[in-house]
Chains A and B, each alone.
Chain A
Amino acid sequence: MLTYILRRVLLLIPVMLIVGVVVFMLVHLTPGDPAAVILGQNATGEQIQALRDRLGLNDPLLVQFWTWFSNALRGDFGDSIFLGMPVTEALQQRAPPTALLTTYALIISILIGVPAGVVAAVKRNSLVDRGLMLVSISGAAIPTFFLGILLILIFAVRLRWLPSGGYTPITEDPVKHFKGMILPSFTLGFASAGLLARLVRSSMLDVLREDYVRTAMAKGLVYRKVVTRHALRNALIPAITVIGYSLGALLGGAVVTETVFTIPGMGRLVVQSIARRDYPLIQGAIMIIAAIYVLVNLIVDILYVYVDPRIRYGGN
């Protein structure tokens, strides 16, 4: 187990290095001089030169990369060009809405996905099953932003039950906070809920065929108990991987959801930074989100091995 964890942690090094190279290259992919692009057409040669110095663009590429990457590892991504403050500080300010939104969405996707999958498996091929699976397949086909727009149209514009956007910090007014987060969280969590439902359904069907389920039934346990106590526990193991994968999709989806619902999170900041060509900020945000994603997947992989001893003693 320990060797497995160690190996997985060591594997992080090349992955993060490549993530770093990709993020670093972003600035250098820009057609033309990044400094000139950032400053716009009215910049003087001196201004451009000054910014080139500030961004270290005059150094050899490898030196630039090393300076940037070693600073990034310490959490220093330089200063945001537009906001005029350290990138790390700007991201810290915008992190709570994104973290909360992603967490709520994950909770919603589990609360909807797992029961839906179980019910669909137990009532296999029934109308309920087909209905649930149809909804879950549509979940994968509706882009986050269109679902968000639809929900705004129904619940904010027509029914006027919920706000169409904006954000209230939880410390300021918890009721308003939750009210404002219902639509965004549901929007973001819906696709993952569908994915989870399909996975739980199929792994549940596998488990229900197992001998120990038949034994449990044979010794006269109530069906409901067999399903919840014996089958569900084992059926949920593969679901852990999907939850880890979902978090990546949720972090990406948060960018879109925050834009639809005008939530001042990290994702919206990234989108706003594109038009402002605020490269240090884009780099910092993307680097941090990728690092979180990689870490979550590491934790999920370790957890997976922990809950399913077969993997521990089998492969590896």
Chain B
Amino acid sequence: MAATKTSAIEPGLPLAADAAENTRLRSSQRRWLVSLKSNRAALVSVVVLVLLVSMALFAPWIAPKDPAFIDPSIRLLGPSSEYRFGTDAFGRDVLSRVIYGARVSLMIGVSVTIVAAIIGSILGLVSGYYDRLDTPIMRIMDGLMAFPSILLAIAIMASLGPRTINVFIALTVVYVPIVARLVRGSTLVLKQQPHVESARSIGLRDHTILFRYIFANSLSPLIVQCTFVIALAIISESSLSFLGAGVPPETPSWGNMLRDGQQLIQRAWWMAIFPGIALVATVLTLNILGDGLRDAFDPRARER
């Protein structure tokens, strides 16, 4: 499909070159897949992630109880065969809440990353490619990065108010500059490369050059970075909730559960420990996957 589209726009470009590029791309894709498959830790992390995602998707079928059902007669019960992770101060089932918590964390982590990747990539491409726009865009990014990230998120949440959509907005603002910087860096390098120069000299339009020749070639570091951004966003979301500046307090999110759990840590350790373990497992998995992807894309890095 790509080939026909290209030839329609620039009839002069030989199709063979395009086909060759496609094969090269496919074989390099296969190479990193092979490399990833030989990395046991990364493979395990993929399996765990699939489990986590299905847990989030199928929460209503997996969760043994209704996560919002309040029953004061069974409050603060320790883990048992009926309530495997115990119950909280309202008699709600901790296991079910942990399962539902995966929804909040993953939804925010993934959506923040996707939107931050799109906005950040556009800003990075534009500022790396057009010298005139470089300084204004990057100074704004520097300004946003001058805040410790959690503090910027807290500040935005303080003015927007504790709603889930606001957490998404706040964290997107926090992570856009990271992506923008990364993509700008690869753009600066790639725009000097012969294939981009020749694309320019045969008169391709800027947006074609930017997306087909520059963006496409900076994808692998971006994907690696995005894996880490998901993890960071999940930590930030739970930190915000823990501080009372995140998703609404009644929402079953891991951060909210840890907040409730800390207040009762003397009496009910299970209220904090289980959501905490879920959180650490998710973030650890994403980090291991990110490391694995980086090694797969760039075999030189693996030596370290």
Residues of A within 8 A of B (CB): 11, 14-19, 21-23, 26-31, 137-138, 140-146, 149-150, 152-153, 157, 164, 202, 205, 248-249, 251-253, 255-256, 259-260, 270-271, 273-275, 277, 279, 282, 286, 289-290, 293-294
Q: B234 — nearest CB in chain A belongs to which residue?
A: A143
Determine the main DSSP class of B at the interface with A.
Answer: helix
- Interface 9-mer from B57-65, B144-152, B181-189, B216-224: B144-152
Do most interface residues of chain A lie in helix, strand or loop, or is the interface mixed? helix
Q: Do A142 and B149 contact each other (CB < 8 Å), given the known contacts A14-B143, A256-B243, A271-B154? A: no
In Å, the complex CA distance between A17 and B144 comes to 11
Taking A149-B262, A259-B242, A290-B146 as known contacts, 9 extra A-B pairs with beta carbons closer than 8 A to each other, sorted by chain A number, are A11-B142, A14-B139, A22-B147, A143-B239, A145-B258, A253-B150, A256-B239, A286-B147, A286-B154
Q: Contact at B148–A153, with CB atoms within 8 Å? A: no
Q: Determine which residue in B231, B235, B269 has the highest number of CB atoms from chain A within 10 A of its CB, and name it.
A: B235
Residues in B neighbouring A150, C-beta threshold 8 A: 273, 276
Q: Are A252 and B148 in contact (CB under 8 A)?
A: yes
B258 to A: closest C-beta gap in Å = 6
Q: Would you give the shortest CB distance from A222 to chain B, in whole angstroms?
A: 26
Q: Verify A15–B142 contact, CB threshold 8 A.
A: yes
Residues of A within 8 A of B266 (CB): 157
Taking CB atoms, residues of chain A closer than 8 Å to B261 are 149
> Which residue of chain B is the closest to A191 with respect to CB atoms?
B235
Contact surface of B with A, Cβ cutoff 8 Å? 139-140, 142-144, 146-152, 154-161, 231, 235, 238-239, 242-245, 258, 261-262, 265-266, 269, 272-273, 276, 279-280, 283-284, 287-288, 291, 304
* Complex CA distance for A275 and B269, rounded to whole angstroms: 27
CB within 8 Å for A271 and B244 given contacts A149-B265, A249-B148, A252-B149: yes
A244 to chain B, nearest CB (A): 12
Docked complex Cα distance between A271 and B157 (Å): 11
Q: How far is the CB of A115 from chain B (nearest CB, A)?
A: 19
Find out whether the CB atom of B276 lies under 8 angstroms from the CB atom of A252: no
Nearest Cβ on chain A to B82's Cβ, whole angstroms: 24
